[in-house]
Structure 1
Amino acid sequence: MEVAVFDTYVKKKEGGYLHFDIIVNKATSFEHVLKYGNTYLQSKKTEGLSLSHKNCRFCHITETIPRWEVQIKQQGYYIHELEGC
């Protein structure tokens, strides 16, 4: 399965950034990518933070790995936490 990787940076209120990738099936709409990112932010209890087209950008297409594929099939996306998460 080929997946699209979206590089995401969200500025935290206390300073610094949440940096994570949103990984989805390559046919997923950008609106869904933003929805998935906002769902992730809510799960992290980050009140007042939201995702928009300004802080989420398409990065590249790649082959999936088993860990991502399982979660993408279950919930539509996989979050790869990078910094500040």
Structure 2
Amino acid sequence: MRVAVWDTYVKKTDGSKMHFDILVQESIKDSEIIYNYGQEYLKGKNVISEILTAKECEFCHIEEASQIIINDIERKGYHIVELKNCD
């Protein structure tokens, strides 16, 4: 499966900046769907953030997905790759 990678940065209440990627099926082009996935992830991390926009979250590239990523996308529609300050 080929997936689209959306590079995302969110400022946390302590001033630090979270960096994570949202991976979705390549065919998903609607940015509002991607932003909603990002908000769902943030809610699960108890991070309060304003609505995600193109300023915080933008398409980066397409790549081949591993089986773990495919399983996640099939189960909930997206996969998150935590890169910085996501704890």
Q: TM-score range by the shorter chain?
A: over 0.9
In structure 2, what is the equivalent of residue 37 of structure 1? 38
TM-score normalized with structure 1 length: 0.94
> Identity of counterpart residues, as a percentage?
44
Residue 62 of structure 1 and its aligned partner are, at CA, apart by 0.6
Q: Which amino acid aligns with 1:7?
A: D
Are residue 79 (structure 1) and residue 85 (structure 2) matched? no
Residue 11 of structure 1 and its aligned partner are, at CA, apart by 0.7
Superposition CA RMSD, Å: 0.8
Deviations 1:21-47 (A, max 9, x none): 000001112111000000001111112
In structure 2, what is the equivalent of residue 56 of structure 1? 57
**Number of residue-to-residue matches in the alignment:** 84
Q: Which runs of 5+ in 1 are unaligned?
A: none
Residue 76 of structure 1 and its aligned partner are, at CA, apart by 0.4
Structure 1 consecutive aligned stretches of length 4 or more whose deviation exceeds 4 Å: none
Q: Which runs of 5+ in 2 are unaligned?
A: none
In structure 2, what is the equivalent of residue 4 of structure 1? 4
In structure 1, what is the equivalent of residue 17 of structure 2? 17
* Counterparts of 2:83 and 2:3, CA distance in 1: 18
* Counterparts of 1:34 and 1:77, CA distance in 2: 11
* Counterparts of 2:44 and 2:80, CA distance in 1: 12
SS in 2 for 1:14: coil
TM-score normalized with structure 2 length: 0.92
